[in-house]
Amino acid sequence: MMEYDEFGLLPDNATEAGLPWAKPPSVRREFIDVAPGQQVSVLVWGEADPEVVLVHGGAQNAHTWDTVALALDRPLIAVDLPGHGRSSWRADRDYWAERNAEAVAVAVGALAPHAQVVTGMSLGGLTAISLAARHPGLVRRLAVVDVTPGVNAEKAAPIAAFVSGPETFASFDELLERTIRFNPTRSVSSLRRGLLHNARALPDGGWAWRYDRLRSPGGQIDSTSLWADLETVTVPVMLVCGTESGVVTDEDRAEFRRRQPAARLEMVDGAGHSIQGDRPVELARLLADFLASTV
């Protein structure tokens, strides 16, 4: 069985991104009780009060932010959404934004109550919008990465095609081969690291994903109710999109700006939907600049 050291892969992240590596960062995993029988797993970077909260997308986990965290080089937390990573699975498979926000609020309140920015990507971005609307005391700045409430099945089709594939694989090589086919712009080394974090070895030698499958209400992807939530947010907001992604359209960006007239809109050249994987250092730079801005 392949050996796995989740923090032992961080030097590879730094090397691939061209980041300096002097010594391993302080990072640990904690578990927060968020409801009876339910825990949320969180990676805690640094020893000081976290300044940043990072929330991943569907079918991902907190390690998707590793290179961003290394580039930011500041105390932060990266949350495993319910049903993902090491967090508990839900019997009802309700992993949509509103329910996720309930759990994330407990985790943020316990570990990062004074964070200066909450950043969410894809499903994590929708969750962050819901968190900002329902728990405004926990969100002082909101950064949304490559998603809006206008996302639908058509826009998310390339992602869904990958996520809706097999749940188990005969070998790690089979899992890696399929992942490479669906992610042609990413390096094999980065995809291999991601799979080691996002899949688990089975006793029979096979491999299975660490995440549970989402159950779409009514079989539809519909987050349009979150437009109203977005409109209630009163803190500074930034939307970051990848130029190679089709998840957010020009019409979505216009609607985002209509709901948040002062929002900062950024496009990252060469990035697809997972900007934290495609252009992590650039995303970290944008987040640092957003944190430093006065508006």
Grouped pLDDT means (10 residues each) for the chain, 295 residues: 84 97 96 97 98 97 98 98 97 92 98 98 98 98 98 89 92 96 90 96 95 72 91 98 96 98 97 96 98 86
Domains of the chain: residue spans and CATH: 10-153+224-292 (3.40.50.1820)
Q: Which of 146, 212, 229, 278 is catalytic?
A: 146
Q: Which of 56, 63, 197, 273 is catalytic?
A: 273
Whether 122 is catalytic is yes
Question: Could you write out the three-class secondary structure of the chain?
Answer: CCCCCCCCCHHHHHHHHCCCCCCCCCEEEEEEEEECCEEEEEEEECCCCCCEEEECCCCCCHHHHHHHHHHHCCCEEEECCCCCCCCCCCCCCCCCHHHHHHHHHHHHHHHCCCCCEEEEECHHHHHHHHHHHHCHHHCCCEEEECCCCCCCCCCCHHHHHHHCCCCEECCHHHHHHHHHHHCCCCCHHHHHHHHHHHEEECCCCCEEECCCCCCCHHHCCCCCCHHHHHHHCCCCEEEEEECCCCCCCHHHHHHHHHHCCCCEEEEECCCCCCHHHHCHHHHHHHHHHHHHCCC
What is the model's pLDDT at position 153? 85
What is the model's pLDDT at position 30? 98
Whether 63 is catalytic is no
What is the model's pLDDT at position 3? 75
What is the model's pLDDT at position 1? 46
Asked if 109 and 75 touch (Cβ cutoff 8 Å), the reply is no
What is the model's pLDDT at position 21? 96
Whether 114 is catalytic is no
What is the model's pLDDT at position 294? 76
Q: Which of 122, 190, 223, 245 is catalytic?
A: 122
